[in-house]
Amino acid sequence: MAKMNMLQAINNALDLAMAKDDGVVCFGEDVGHFGGVFRATSKLQEKYGKARCFNTPLTEQGIAGFANGMAAQGMKPVAEIQFADYIFPAFDQIVNETAKFRYRSGNEFNVGGLVFRTPYGGGIAGGHYHSQSPEAYFAHTPGLKIVVPRDPYQAKGLLLASIACPDPVIFFEPKKLYRASVGEVPEDYYELPIGKAEVLQQGKDVTVLAWGAQMEIVQKAVEMAAEQGVSCEVIDLRSILPWDADTVAASVKKTGRLVINHEAPLTGGFAGEIAATIQKMCFLHLESPIERVCGLDTPYPLALEKEYVADHLKTFEAIMRSVNF
């Protein structure tokens, strides 16, 4: 075990993946010599050469299309989109190409092994172009897998699983935690399962569900609730697509209540999908309406970021509304 922050854990995962399989290639804007604007690909060009870790021209649609082509040939491109806010020029390549490659060809061709890594989320005074959480747009696209880690250990294991995955994966990295989140990480290769939620804390009164950087926010809320005598069960969803409805439903059947928290705006956010599924699976077990604590239905602001975000206080209030319904 070694102490790593999330960037080091991601860098370590990429290093191991490149060492293990020479089909793994890392590229994106500023990814080469500089090692990426956040330094996630630091030293990889030095170690594996310019052919396997390189700067691309500044074109996200080009990066995504290039990655599709490489993956179709059978390699494992790990393409970085510098900020998730800048993924939209690549939307066509990802939604119409990446996601449908296998299906449209009757499995003649596929882009399994392709991973898009991209930093997402707020809390860094980034305004609306350096703070967005666009996972729900992609969750509406069958054929993609979507993964969001919460800490360095998860980031490494889930990234290695994403690279090994036979389907294309979008790997959203909570940039707020890149250096802030530090933990023990095994130095060897390991994978964590895609599509499996993790119950972080057992509880009996209410289930609190989130992912990525919001895990530490809900943890704070859960501690406040505990002081009020409320026992929360805490779940990290980890994968948005496919998402682990069984684990969430089993928990809600036990607690009878569900609070979902995400950074992205409320309307059309992934919490809506979860709520609809869980109310069907757990209808007779629910003691209160499912609560959603999300960003407001506005672009991500700058000066009023504190007011906008789905913070621990709003989450605590939702937990209390849920148990006092």
What is the binding site for other proteins (CB under 8 A)? Answer: 29-30, 32-35, 37, 54-55, 57-62, 85-86, 88-89, 125-130, 266-267, 296-299, 301-304, 306-308, 311, 313-314, 317
Strand partners, 265: 295
Which parts of 47-86 are beta strand (E)? 53-55, 76-80
Nearer of residues 37 and 250 to other proteins, judged by Cβ = 37
Nearer of residues 82 and 247 to other proteins, judged by Cβ = 82
Per DSSP bridges, beta strands 182-185 and 2-5 are antiparallel
The least CB distance from residue 95 to other proteins, in Å, is: 15
Which parts of 23-168 are beta strand (E)? 24-28, 53-55, 76-80, 115-120, 145-147
The least CB distance from residue 217 to other proteins, in Å, is: 13
Nearer of residues 154 and 219 to other proteins, judged by Cβ = 219
Reply yes or no on whether 60 is catalytic.
yes
The least CB distance from residue 27 to other proteins, in Å, is: 11
Mapped onto helix, strand or coil, the DSSP state of residue 69 is helix
The least CB distance from residue 129 to other proteins, in Å, is: 4
Reply yes or no on whether 80 is catalytic.
no
Nearer of residues 188 and 307 to other proteins, judged by Cβ = 307
Other beta carbons less than 10 A from residue 304's beta carbon? 10
Kindly write down the DSSP assignment for every residue of 243-308, as one continuous string.
--HHHHHHHHHHHS-EEEEEEEESTT-HHHHHHHHHHHHTGGG-SSPPEEEEE-SS---STTHHHH
Task: Please tell me which residue in 130, 173, 262, 312 is annotated as part of the active site.
Answer: 130
The least CB distance from residue 311 to other proteins, in Å, is: 8
Dihedral angle over CA of 225, 226, 229, 231, nearest 10: 90
Cα angle value 312/158/280 (rounded, 5°): 60
Nearer of residues 6 and 16 to other proteins, judged by Cβ = 6
Position 66: which residue type?
A: F
Task: Please tell me which residue in 60, 80, 135, 291 is annotated as part of the active site.
Answer: 60
Catalytic residues: 60, 130
